[in-house]
Structure 1
Amino acid sequence: MPSRRNEEEIYEDTDIINAHGVSSSSKEEIVRFHDYDSVVDTKRKLKDQELERDMIHFISSLNTSTIILLWKGSVVLPQDSKKDVMISYVDANASDKTKRLWQSCSTTKLFFPDHTNLLQTIGYCKHGGMLYIVYDYFEMANLAQCLVSEKTNYSSAAGTNSNDLKTAYAFDVIKGMEYLAKNECCHPGLRASRVYVNSFGVCKLYDFCLRRKVSKFLDLYIKKNADTKWILPPEVITSSSTYQAASDVWAIGIILLEIFVGELDALRRSISQGEVNMLKKINALSQQCNYPENICSLMKSCLATKCKDRTTISSIKEIFERITAAANKNDVYYNNEHYDD
């Protein structure tokens, strides 16, 4: 790996991707670098997770943010095996405080325990003053794309229960959120475009942070994104320091709307006008959909204006466990009845 570089220095590596998604080959481009040499705790060596820069290949941009940059790519592993990956990093021109936060969030993900509903972190690469985090991305698509595709194709998918699939997506997200909460993490600004789905239809969360870092995470990453800021809970709009467990419950309510209603943009004005108008809009939209039992009332409970009026993530999980159990019971009943001689 290259030695450390000065904070202000010409970017010499033409293979590094800049903020605009293109290789930077100009010797005149002056950028600032932050020292990432301490990103991994030296007391806990992760040599099996450290990737050389020439092992990583960038393919196409997946950007949903101008600050945390995402690229689809591949990694050539030992024995010449190749793996599809997502590469995440922050722009070389980002502020030092942004890079320090990125370092903190990245270190957390490298040591985070595996879970079915979290995107697997394969490793990291430190190169040329940049820190790259590499995730598994084999046959992945984001949840927003999946929902649009399934809505388009549902009418021709004979024998498919659309709500069963949506329930499975929602349950995956909730299980992932509960696991994050138990590990002192949170997921501000959760929405379908920030969740990935693998080839087996399992949802994976990845864009989370430590709860003790959430205020900085919000101010640097979320509130600067106009497409995300408006879906933040009321208590967070004015003060990032007020983010709490109930704020993640609001985020779950938002993604439930996306999954079951698919009309999040239609709610933008209603959310901004307050709880009464928003709940009226949810009631109106719910009449157009064949929801599983309790979904509409659950969404309204998640999106209560006051934190104390919201349900808990554990309660949400319990409701979805009952919904899933009832759906499985109905499937068994249907199959026995259908094939009974």
Structure 2
Amino acid sequence: MKAWVSHEAGDPSTLVLEETRIPEPRGDEVLVRVQAVGVNFPDGLFIRDLYQIKPPRPFVPGSEFCGVVEKTGANATHLKRGDVVVGASGWGAMSEYVALPEDRLFRIPDDLPREEAAAFLFTYATAYHALHDSGRLSAGETLVVLGAAGGVGSAAVGVGKALGATVIASASTQAKIDFAVGCGATDGLVYDVDLPTGDGQRELTRQLKALAPAAGVDVVLDPVGGPYTEPALRSLARGGRHLVVGFAAGIPRVPLNIALLRSCHIIGVDWRTFIQEERAANEKNMEVLFALWRSRQIQPQVTELFPFEAAPTAIARLDERQAMGKIVVSLLA
């Protein structure tokens, strides 16, 4: 089979397309013929050795995929040859075949297109876990989504609307705000892509508060970090929840007295740990998400599609932080 392999730390151009053996599923593992791969921000971090987990080299990047079950291990009991599944692999998906334990795989609705399915698991499961499990977002509350046009951000906009919240999108360009409004946001705010600290941050807080109810924002979903975290945190109502999902703009330094003065909560959201430690809860979440898709309350936003041969370009495109929605690499041709 063909696979994109990382032999050294560097940008996506260091990946090498190689012929390697098809893995043999063992125990509860399932062999899947990959048909589409969703590109996620950690993929580029893995290649650069910048993620908190560092797979041993050589390794194949690619954290989520959709495909067809080809073979099952002796102890696999829930899936069979021909089942169409999505999977969370961590790494290893940017290849023609991948073998994973079957509890990391989920059957998808028959009419969910494969390339859309590859854009579903990582972003929507993260967004739903963050908003429902961690943030306890309720109908009628106000949600601010930073980076609202990105993969997790745009998914959070859709999930937040489906949960009955008023969603305020925040992003770096008006085009991204327009995209987020199309995903379900009620209003939007363009922030400075090079936000200055001090006065610039105070102005962003003022603008967020102007769009929120008088009491403030109930929940912030933050996959951005950097200088944007503090202004969003300051916009929270008493008892509000700031959900830390990622650090696309860098790891922020936040005065913790803000949390004390506002009696608000800063909550870390680690979906990777959640799916390992609370598998039954994650399976229930996936059932809810598929039901929301069937009722057309959420819709994967595949905005850019790349052939398998251009996988490094797809990962590099996401690294530029200009993409909207989800980038997918297709093996269906």
Give the structure-1-normalised TM-score. Answer: 0.31
Pair member with larger Rg? 1
Q: Which has the higher contact order (CA 8 A, sep 6+)?
A: 2
Structure number having the greater helix percentage: 1
Give the structure-2-normalised TM-score. Answer: 0.32
Structure number having the greater strand percentage: 2
